[in-house]
Amino acid sequence: MNRNFALWEYLFIQYLKRDWKKIVFWIVGLGLFCGGFIPFFEEIAKGDGLLGMYETMQNPAMISIVGPTPISDPQAYTIGAMYSNEMLLFCGLFAFIISAMHVVGHTRREEDLGLQELIRSFRVGREANALAVMVETVLINLVLALFVCGLMVSFNLTGIDVTGSLLFGLSIAMLGIVGAVVGLLMAQVMSTSAGAIGGSIALLIVLYIVRATTDISNVSLSMMNPLGWGYLTYPFVENNWLPIVYALVFSIVGIFVAFVLESKRDMQDGYIPQFEGKAHASKRMLSVPGMFWRITRGTNIAWLIGFAVMGAAYGSVYADMQSFLNSNEMMQQMFTVQGISIEVSFTATIMFVVQGLAIILPIVMLNKLYNEERRGHLSQVYSTKVSRNQIYWSVIGIAICLSVFANLAGSFGLGGMAIASMSKSTMTFIDFIGAGFNYFAVFLFFIGLGGLCIGYAPKLGKLLYLYLGYSFMVSYFLNLLDLPEWVNQTSALNWMNRVPMESFNVSAFLIVGAIGIVMMILGAIGYHRRDLHEGV
């Protein structure tokens, strides 16, 4: 037994040295997201904000999204109760995904690259790597829990106590550990790292959908769902520690099963064999666009479905919108404008949120090109008569098409559910479609930025996510923070008028779209001239 885990502690130390930058960003970034929004919620709670938010969260649609609260008396709905009700599940989801990807990246992916074969050529135990990665991931999540707890307590607010803050942090940490265990199990079952990550995400989606159903019908059934072991702890309300015990037992059993599975399989093998596909490729695969669509098909479809569901989730809020906005001055400042109906002003704000998130999909597609290049997968393609321009413009074309579908998916979901949930409305379905199309020029702008990165500095492609996040935050709090005009104009999302609250600005749409197209062309020139980056 000891021989199977030989030198795991040495690997553990080496992983800490190798991953320390990632670990710091993981803990600080996720920690600030999980515990740093308390001042914002404090503003929401002013006046009758807590009462209005409590009524809103009783909507079955909202329960299916963020989970239930055990509070039956609105007067007992404190800031802490509201914060855990709205934030805990999503914080746990992020911890789950990050941990699962980290574990798969250090196990199955390193097998795919042949690194584990090299490591095992020394006196390293068969399960030493898996143990080292799991210890590292558990340690990271525990430090994250303490960081979140300390951050929340530092705000010194009534309703945010130490016990509840510690439970809040540990609930997130345990979902992260559960995600790591799921990732380790998938790394043994699946034959590739892509399959292991896909399997982990697919299982998470299934668990989320199941808990959305049981939270509405019978919340006690959600306790049998691993996701329920996070948000059903009810920090600041009941402080239920029993789900933490369930998650701990599941993690121990899951790790043991993963070790057994790894000990009985061959290197670079899995219990579910890789699907070999058809003997002859379809005609679609004979084209460059068809090839890139095929290797990203599952991800693209999942994103599009997610945007439609997200739009529908926001649309369900329209039923309780009037009472919610009237309950809080801050919400009125963010979502209402004098002389304009609530539906129109609310749609103008929510639509940019939906479309801003939808821009992520074309960015993912553009970064996929560089990832395939870096892994050396395009060398075989370039050895044929396929040119770089064909590759580049094929990916750009797919990104534009995905932008169209993502734009429509969010608008259809938001508009359809909003109209269905309102008994009377001054808006039509076409109004929602037009409000979404208003941001299509911004899609083209971000695709152009991505094209420039691909052509001249492909490693900077990841910074597009950072700029999109910055633009999102500046635009979201535009009315609340009273930022200088020059700061507002640094956000690409602010270059468009807020339709339907404002009229459609044709000149701005054409100019921003034209800038995006010009950057795509410049990116093509750079991509044609630069060297390929393989293995970097």
Contact 411, 354 (CB under 8 A): yes
Within 10 angstroms of residue 324's Cβ, the number of other Cβ atoms is 23
In the chain, domain spans: 1-35+89-274
Q: Which residue has the tokens 């409000």?
A: 435
Q: How far apart are CA 216 and CA 347, in angstroms?
A: 27
Q: pLDDT tier at 382 (50, 70, 90 boundaries)?
A: confident
Q: pLDDT tier at 185 (50, 70, 90 boundaries)?
A: very high
How does DSSP assign 375-414, residue by residue? TTTTHHHHTTT--HHHHHHHHHHHHHHHHHHHHHHHHHHH
Choose among 159, 133, 130, 164: nearest CA to 149.
164
168-172, 208-212, 304-308: which is most confident: 168-172
pLDDT in tens, 108-153: 888 877 777 788 778 887 888 889 999 999 999 999 999 999 999 9
**Residues above pLDDT 70, as percent of the chain:** 91
CA dihedral of 170, 11, 189, 113, whole degrees rounded to 10: 130
Phi, psi of 72 (to 5 degrees): -105, -20
Choose among 171, 174, 149, 173: nearest CA to 162.
149
Q: Which residue has the tokens 């906005």?
A: 325
Q: Say whether pTM exceeds 0.85.
A: no
pLDDT in tens, 459-486: 888 888 888 888 877 776 655 555 677 8
